[in-house]
């Protein structure tokens, strides 16, 4: 296959890993989702590098455009390296009315992040890859509004000061 | 043995084959239902919502291109409500991207424009979103203008189902959905593209066009899509 020669392949150990993940899921309809999920979990920076997507397409026979379509459709998948700590701020209606925009702005200010991305989905990572701040449409915990998820732990009724303290604590831990 | 069903379309009793869709039966019997994302020979996706019809016993409007006919079904293809829905669908398509007919290669030969004229869309009641979108001119013979794309997916299906290359797909979601070739690679660098030009002919608007044509000069021929191979590289 002449195409295979031209493309940028992932490192050999990554290739082995991808082959193993594909082997586990082989032949199942809708296997692509599971493969991508496992692949992202195994990645150190919790994202899907382009080379890996290309290799998955090559190995599974799924067209590249379809792999890319799936990877960009689901909010679960990241195409950029993620920070060590994740702060996910809910931007649902209930949380919005309880001031989640102020929380988001405050955290962005604290970590020195600039606005980018579309209005409905925002993912920002600090240059040192210590923190990723992202918005979420809804956690389904509207009674606890405003909700913030820090490293996969849900916090309810979050106040600005409390959030700043939490993030500061993580930052100090990361610095140590 | 093929099962025959009788349906009523706009009052006329029509014999159809079970498994056919309402749109197929209607078109075969010269009943007109407008559609943008439907193309003969491709799978139906029900993306454009222009083929909505009224079916007896169903409270909501259903897309004719994906609804199979059923025995005793009564279909109405045009009511003031249906016409207003179709008009809204068209206006939203116009509002979503930058459809500027005056400077478009497909003006005068555009399915979106033709349908808008037919439905009396003289103006758009919604604010234009005026997104900033790129134009991909990297392919030596064809050009992709995202500003004119209505995401009908006809190029995607033509490439996947007829040519078998599956260069195109829709990436992202919601308002951020867009057409991609391979992994967001420029069209000219797509390794799986055979340059057959089927997608260009299948495109209902000026989103895909051959290079070298000026405003109003790009005419397309849907009927040749299944045979179009002469443009492939190396043939």
CB B98 within 8 A of CB B147: yes
Distance CA A88, CA A107 (A): 10
* pLDDT at residue number A22: 85
- Distance from C-alpha of A122 to C-alpha of B208, rounded to nearest angstrom: 31
Residue B49 phi/psi, 5-degree rounding, is 65, 20
Q: Quick one: fold of B4-78?
A: Ubiquitin-like (UB roll) (3.10.20)
Closest residue in A to B156 (Cα) is A65
Give me the pLDDT at residue A18, please: 85
Measured between CB atoms, does B164 come within 8 Å of chain A? no
B166 touches chain A (CB under 8 A): yes
Domain ranges of chain B: 4-78, 104-224
Indicate the domain borders of chain A. 2-73, 85-175
Contacts of A120 in chain B (CB under 8 A): 174-176
* Separation in Å, CA B204 to CA B106, B131, B151, B187, B199: 9, 20, 10, 19, 10
pLDDT < 50 stretches in chain B = 235
Name which residue leads in pLDDT, B166 or A116. Answer: B166
Strand runs labelled E in B72-212: 74-76, 135-136, 142-145, 168-171, 178-181, 208-210
The pLDDT of residue A79: 87
**Helix or strand holding residue B202 (H, E):** helix B198-202
Structure confidence at residue A30 as a pLDDT band (50, 70, 90): confident
Interface of chain A toward chain B, CB-CB under 8 angstroms: 3, 6-7, 50, 53-54, 57, 63-69, 72-73, 118, 120
Q: What is the DSSP letter of A167?
A: H
Residue of B nearest to A54 (CA): B183
**Residue B230 near chain A (CB below 8 Å):** no
- CB atoms under 10 Å from CB of A4, counted, come to 11
What CATH class is the domain A85-175? alpha beta
Tell me what pLDDT residue A5 has: 43
pLDDT of residue A3: 44
A73 to chain B: which residues are within 8 Å by CB? 171-173
* Residue B202 and residue B39 in contact, taking contact as beta carbons nearer than 8 Å: yes
Report the gap between the CA of A7 and the closest CA in chain B (Å).
Answer: 9
> What is the pLDDT, as a whole number, of residue B214?
86
Burial class for A29, CB neighbours closer than 10 Å (0-12, 13-18, 19+): exposed
Give the count of Cβ contacts less than 8 A between chain A and B.
52
Let me know: does A55 contact A15? Beta carbons within 8 Å: yes
Nearest CA in chain A to B165: A63
CA distance B91 to chain A (A): 23
B160 at the A interface (CB within 8 A)? yes
Of B171, B181, B182, the CB nearest to A72: B171
Specify the fold of B104-224.
Alpha-Beta Plaits (3.30.70)
Collapsing DSSP to helix, strand or coil, B125 comes out as coil
Per the prediction, chain A carries an average pLDDT of 84
Q: Is the pLDDT of residue A166 over 60?
A: yes
Check if the beta carbon of residue A154 is closer than 8 Å to that of residue A139: yes
Contact across the interface for B183 and A67, Cβ inside 8 Å: yes
Q: Least CB-CB distance to A69: which of B167, B169, B192?
A: B169
Structure confidence at residue A4 (pLDDT)? 43
DSSP class of B68: B
Handedness of CA A40, A46, A47, A49 (dihedral sign): negative
pLDDT for A173: 81
Name the DSSP letter for residue B171. E
Q: What is the distance in angstroms between the CA of the first residue and the CA of the last residue of chain B?
A: 42
Among A89, A72, A83, CA closest to A156: A89
Q: What is the pLDDT of residues B2-21, one digit of tens each?
A: 789 999 999 899 999 999 99
Rounded to the nearest angstrom, the minimum Cα separation between A147 and chain B is 24
* Cα-based angle B139, B141, B146 (whole degrees, multiple of 5): 55
Segment holding A13, helix H or strand E: helix A12-25
Quick one: closest CA in A to B181, which residue? A65
Dihedral of CA A26/A13/A37/B192: which sign? negative
Section A6-11 average pLDDT: 66
Asked if residue A172 has pLDDT above 70, the reply is yes
Least CB-CB distance to A120: which of B156, B166, B174? B174
Q: If pLDDT is split at 50, 70 and 90, which confidence band does A8 have?
A: low
Inter-chain touch A65–B173, beta carbons under 8 Å: no
- Give the closest-approach CA distance of B175 to chain A in angstroms: 9
Q: Which is higher by pLDDT, A139 or A175?
A: A139
Strands A131-136 vs A123-125: parallel, antiparallel or unpaired? antiparallel
Question: Which has the closest alpha carbon to A107: A119, A93, A122?
Answer: A122
Looking at CA atoms only, how far is residue A166 from chain B in angstroms?
33
Predicted TM-score (pTM) of this structure: 0.84
In this predicted complex, what is the ipTM? 0.85
d(CA B137, CA B139): 6
């Amino acid at each position: 296959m002449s195409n295979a020669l031209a493309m940028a392949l992932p490192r050999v150990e990554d290739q082995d890993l991808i082959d193993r993940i594909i082997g586990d899921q082989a032949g199942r309809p809708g296997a692509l989702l599971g493969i991508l999920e496992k692949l992202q979990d195994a990645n150190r920076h919790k994202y899907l590098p382009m080379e890996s997507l290309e290799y998955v397409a090559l190995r599974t026979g799924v067209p590249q455009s379809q792999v890319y379509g799936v990877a960009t459709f689901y909010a679960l998948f990241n195409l950029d390296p993620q920070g060590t700590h994740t702060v996910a701020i809910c931007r649902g209606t209930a949380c919005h009315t309880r001031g989640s925009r102020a929380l988001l702005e405050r955290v962005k200010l604290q970590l020195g992040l600039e606005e980018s991305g579309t209005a409905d989905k925002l993912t920002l990572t600090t240059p040192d890859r210590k923190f990723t701040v992202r918005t979420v449409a809804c956690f389904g915990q509207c009674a606890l509004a405003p909700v913030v998820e820090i490293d996969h732990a849900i916090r309810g009724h979050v106040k600005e000061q409390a959030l700043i303290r939490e993030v500061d604590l993580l930052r100090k831990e990361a610095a140590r | 043995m093929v099962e025959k069903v009788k349906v009523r379309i706009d009052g006329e009793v029509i014999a159809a084959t079970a498994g056919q869709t309402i749109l197929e039966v209607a078109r075969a019997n010269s009943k007109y239902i407008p559609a943008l994302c439907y193309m003969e020979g491709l799978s139906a996706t029900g993306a454009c919502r222009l083929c909505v019809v009224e079916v007896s016993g169903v409270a909501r409007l259903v897309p004719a291109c994906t609804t199979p006919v059923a025995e005793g079904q009564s279909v109405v293809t045009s009511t003031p409500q249906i016409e207003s829905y179709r008009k809204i669908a068209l206006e939203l398509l116009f509002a979503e991207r930058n459809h500027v007919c005056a400077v478009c290669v497909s003006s005068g030969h555009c399915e979106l424009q033709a349908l808008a004229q037919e439905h009396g869309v003289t103006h758009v009641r919604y604010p234009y979103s005026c997104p900033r979108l790129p134009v991909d001119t990297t392919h030596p013979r064809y050009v992709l203008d995202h500003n004119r794309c209505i995401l009908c997916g006809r190029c995607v299906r033509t490439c996947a189902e007829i040519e078998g290359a599956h260069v195109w797909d829709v990436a992202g979601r919601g308002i951020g959905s867009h057409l991609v070739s391979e992994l967001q690679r420029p069209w000219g660098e797509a390794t799986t593209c055979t340059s057959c030009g089927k997608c260009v002919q299948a495109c209902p608007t000026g989103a895909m066009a051959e290079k070298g044509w000026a405003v109003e000069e790009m005419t397309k021929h849907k009927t040749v899509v299944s045979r179009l191979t002469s443009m492939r590289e190396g043939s």
